Amino acid sequence: MPVDHQLAWNTLRAQRVREQVPLKPLLSIRTGGPARYFLEVENAQEAALAWRTAKALDIPVLFLGNGSTLLLEDEGCPGLVIHFGEGFARMEIDGDRLTAQSGVTLKTLAYHAADHGLVGLAFAAGIPGSLGGALMMNAGAYNGEMSQVVESVTCMDLEGRTITLSREQAQLSYRHSRMMDEHWMVLGASLRLSAGSKDALYATMAEFQAMRREKQPLAWPSAGSFFKRPKGYFAGALIEQAGLKGLSVGGAQVSEKHAGFFINTGNATTKDFLELKNQVQQKVMERFGVALEPEVRIIKGQGE
User: Annotated active-site positions, please?
Assistant: 175, 225, 295
Output the CA torsion sign for 287, 270, 234, 231. Answer: negative
Q: How far is CA 201 from CA 111, 114, 130, 138, in A?
A: 9, 6, 20, 22
Q: Is 60 helix (H, G, I), strand (E, B) or coil?
A: coil
Instruction: Measure CA 281 to chain center.
Output: 22
Output the CA torsion sign for 5, 10, 12, 17. Answer: positive
Q: CB–CB of 26/83 below 8 Å?
A: yes
Q: Helices 44-56 and 5-15 meet at what angle, rounded to 10? A: 130
Q: How far apart are CA 72 and CA 105, in angstroms?
A: 20
